[in-house]
């Protein structure tokens, strides 16, 4: 006979499996695209590209208004909508704001992760959180 603890674990596991099945059905994996999209760029696309080591092409509006096109290797997404990655065309690391992406295309190209970029992306995420907390504290 099962005890209450065992029954709770079994029910929790069943609920997690059901939730995962719903998630997979409602969030199908992104396929390589044949043409750029002008739909809003969602962070889940960036997370998936980072997880699968896939290159993302973007048309991006810089803060000064200049529009550039980049191929980006995404390393991390941050809570504030920023995306940390490596720009292939300019050969430098960069942070992009999600809302400045004008068009995007998930490519079938894969990339090998650069070890130092992992450390930089983690540092960027941590420092952005600290800056956000400092700004929130100043408002109070």
Asked if residue 85 belongs to a domain, the reply is: yes
pLDDT band at 9 (very low <50, low <70, confident <90, very high): confident
pLDDT, tens digit, 9 for 90 and up, residues 49-88: 888 889 999 999 999 999 999 999 988 888 788 888 888 8
- Could you give phi then psi for residue 57, rounded to 5 degrees? -90, 135
Domain that holds residue 71: 32-114
pTM recorded for the entire structure:
0.62
What's the pLDDT at 55?
92
Structural domain includes residue 7? no
Kindly report the CATH number assigned to the domain that includes residue 70: 2.30.30
Number of domain units in the chain: 1
Using the predicted structure, report yes or no on whether residue 40 has a pLDDT greater than 70: yes
Which among 132, 138, 32, 12 has a CA at the least distance from the CA of 80?
Answer: 132
């Amino acid at each position: 006979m099962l005890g209450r603890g065992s029954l709770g674990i079994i029910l929790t596991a069943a609920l997690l499996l059901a939730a995962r099945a719903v998630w997979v059905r409602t969030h199908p994996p992104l396929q390589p695209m044949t043409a750029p999209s002008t739909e809003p760029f969602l962070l889940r696309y960036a997370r998936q590209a980072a997880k699968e080591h896939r290159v993302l092409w973007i048309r991006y509006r810089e803060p000064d208004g200049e529009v550039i096109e980049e191929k980006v290797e995404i390393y991390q997404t941050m809570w504030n909508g920023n995306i940390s990655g490596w720009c292939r065309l300019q050969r430098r690391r960069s942070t992009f704001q999600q809302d400045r992406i004008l068009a995007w295309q998930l490519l079938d190209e894969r990339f090998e992760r650069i070890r130092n970029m992992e450390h930089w992306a983690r540092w960027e995420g941590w420092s952005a959180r600290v800056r956000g907390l400092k700004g929130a504290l100043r408002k109070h």
